[in-house]
Amino acid sequence: MPVSDFQPVIGLEVHAQLLTQSKIFCGCSTAFGAEPNRNTCPVCLGMPGVLPVLNQRVVEFAVRTGLALECTVKKTSVWSRKNYFYPDLPKGYQITQYDQPICEHGRLVIDTPQGEKVIRVRRIHMEEDAGKNVHDTSGGQSLVDLNRAGVPLLEIVSEPDLRDADEAVEYLKTLRDVLVYLGVNDGNLEEGSFRCDANVSVMPKGSSTYGQRCELKNLNSFRFLKQAIEYEISRQVDVIESGGKVDQETRLWDVNKGVTRSMRSKEEAHDYRYFPEPDLPPLHVSDAAIDAAAKALPELPRAKLTRFTSQYGLPAYDARILTAERPLADFFEACAAHYADAKKLSNWFLGELMRLLKEEGTPLSALRFTPAQLAELLGAVDKGTVSANAGKDVLGEMFRTGKAPADIIAEKGLAQVSDTGAIEAVVDDILAKNAGEVEKYRAGKKQVFGFFVGQVMRAMKGKGNPALVNELLKKKLGD
């Protein structure tokens, strides 16, 4: 059977670092990039005799996320110890949640080529991150940095509802956008503050029994997620086709070779010996706290996208890009309050503005001009005060200097010439100098028209109002 006779089944486990100031069970800073082992204390160093104290913000963030993903938020959940030995885990166990997580049974709607699809969220739980082992240093040693030990994480586990690599990527992007909107995570895959493991299996099409799954690790970009899943699907199909059986194992994505390779088999899997955490009582979340969190939820990306299409009459394509990040969406709305043609505004956003932001690496928060000034520039283009092309230069200058559009237009002499007399003089001059071409035109060679427009525009250094130039040329040529 070819690959197309098999149905892939995929479920994702996502770890998201929470944007709290301090760690989950102690007051140490979560700031990234500090000198190794600076952000540590007896609690996160795993000293004997110390006790964890739960950071209330972590619970707030978990509840907020659970509500956004339409989960049931449990009024009682339980902390557990997950025991294993590794140098980056000083206590010898991780405090996590196991059989009684804080959130269950949620859903996330994603877009697929076949339309909207609901991906069920099985559970969300809170846990602490481990430290980091730093290998291959110049002295050939391995070092341990415990700054990350005790940083709060949410683990978000999907049901195996995804059916190909593209759906998995779409789910991960959609989830990331939600978490960033909520202000609970920075969404950075490359730096590892938003991480994903993919569980992949295949079964013959039409079957309702899932195949044996493998868990893929080391997927720190959307591209790697897609490549690793696609590789793994064809690998599993090959195994089955050649009469073998897929072993349940953990496999690592090898970026350089573009393959997944076995890291540990089921036999080598850890026995974590989970048991309830004796140092923390069960966690209770009140109805009042859940209600307050629900009321404070921001408008989420999907709802905003729908509203952008209805309220502003924008195509879904535009709305999706404009709402992918909250600051961009907010800035668009602030501009739209000053400028009525939302589609034109969107064109400037999707074209010039986003190009400038990307090229200069400027965050929106550092933008030097106001929404009213952008609206003023677009108004000037509409009125023909500047050409659309010159308008782009004006925007670039506003971007770099924060000067008002009118000042830039004046200073740089970018104002478009709409004075009929001035244009007429240039048109007459060009036609007089090119009598031969005029003959050809009048004899029926209409393509020469573009040549005349080009000559007039060049003589006017690009500042002639194009509509007027066209009109006057036609008139003079006797059209």
- Buried b / exposed e over 9-21, threshold 16 CB at 10 Å, is bbbbbbbbbbbbe
Least spacing, CB of residue 51 vs Zn ion, in Å = 12
Least spacing, CB of residue 221 vs ligand ADP, in Å = 20
Of the candidate residues 6, 9, 94, 176, the single one contacting ligand ADP (CB under 6 A):
9
Q: Which of residues 193-212 bind ligand ADP (CB under 6 A)?
A: 199-201, 210
Evaluate whether 448 touches 441 at the Cβ level (below 8 Å): yes
For ligand ADP, the closer of residues 196 and 345 by Cβ is 196
Provide the token pair at 392.
């782009």
Q: Which entry of Zn ion, ligand ADP, none binds 189, CB below 5 to 8 A by partner kind?
A: none
Evaluate whether 194 touches 186 at the Cβ level (below 8 Å): yes
Query: Half-sphere exposure of 468 toward its Cβ, with a 13 Å CA cutoff?
Result: 22
Evaluate whether 13 touches 171 at the Cβ level (below 8 Å): no
CA–CA separation, 11 vs 216, rounded Å? Answer: 11
Residues in Cβ contact with 278 at an 8 Å cutoff, skipping those fewer than 6 apart: none
Least spacing, CB of residue 264 vs ligand ADP, in Å = 13
Q: From the CB of residue 447, how many other CB atoms can be counted at a distance below 10 Å?
A: 8
Length of the chain: 479
Regarding 160 and contact with ligand ADP (CB under 6 A), the answer is yes
CA–CA separation, 124 vs 96, rounded Å? Answer: 11
Q: How many residues contact ligand ADP, by CB under 6 A?
A: 14
Sheet holding 249-254, edge to edge: 72-73, 103-112, 115-128, 152-158, 6-17, 194-204, 214-217, 249-254, 259-265
Q: Which entry of Zn ion, ligand ADP, none binds 41, CB below 5 to 8 A by partner kind?
A: Zn ion
Regarding 158 and contact with ligand ADP (CB under 6 A), the answer is yes
Regarding 28 and contact with Zn ion (CB under 5 A), the answer is yes
Q: From the CB of residue 230, how many other CB atoms can be counted at a distance below 10 Å?
A: 18
Least spacing, CB of residue 56 vs Zn ion, in Å = 16
Of the candidate residues 6, 7, 11, 193, the single one contacting ligand ADP (CB under 6 A):
11
Name the pairing type of β-strands 6-17 and 152-158: antiparallel
For ligand ADP, the closer of residues 100 and 434 by Cβ is 100
Of the candidate residues 24, 44, 154, 189, the single one contacting Zn ion (CB under 5 A):
44
For Zn ion, the closer of residues 28 and 394 by Cβ is 28
With CB atoms as reference, the residue minimizing the distance to ligand ADP is 11
Regarding 459 and contact with ligand ADP (CB under 6 A), the answer is no
Cα 434 from chain centroid?
56
Helix (H), strand (E) at residue 355: helix 354-360
| Burial (Cβ within 10 Å: 0-12, 13-18, ≥19) of residue 300 | middle
Least spacing, CB of residue 81 vs ligand ADP, in Å = 16
Of the candidate residues 9, 14, 26, 151, the single one contacting Zn ion (CB under 5 A):
26
Regarding 164 and contact with ligand ADP (CB under 6 A), the answer is no
CA–CA separation, 289 vs 355, rounded Å? Answer: 42
Q: Which entry of Zn ion, ligand ADP, none binds 158, CB below 5 to 8 A by partner kind?
A: ligand ADP
Of the candidate residues 157, 263, 404, 459, the single one contacting ligand ADP (CB under 6 A):
157
Regarding 130 and contact with Zn ion (CB under 5 A), the answer is no
Taking contact as CB under 5 A, which single stretch among the options 8-16, 22-30, 60-68, 440-448 is the one that binds Zn ion?
A: 22-30
Least spacing, CB of residue 203 vs ligand ADP, in Å = 8
Regarding 275 and contact with ligand ADP (CB under 6 A), the answer is no
Taking contact as CB under 6 A, which single stretch among the options 5-13, 40-48, 81-89, 294-302 is the one that binds ligand ADP?
A: 5-13
Give the interface with Zn ion as residue ranges (CB under 5 A).
26, 28, 41, 43-44
Q: Contact positions toward ligand ADP, by CB under 6 A?
A: 9-13, 157-160, 199-201, 210, 213
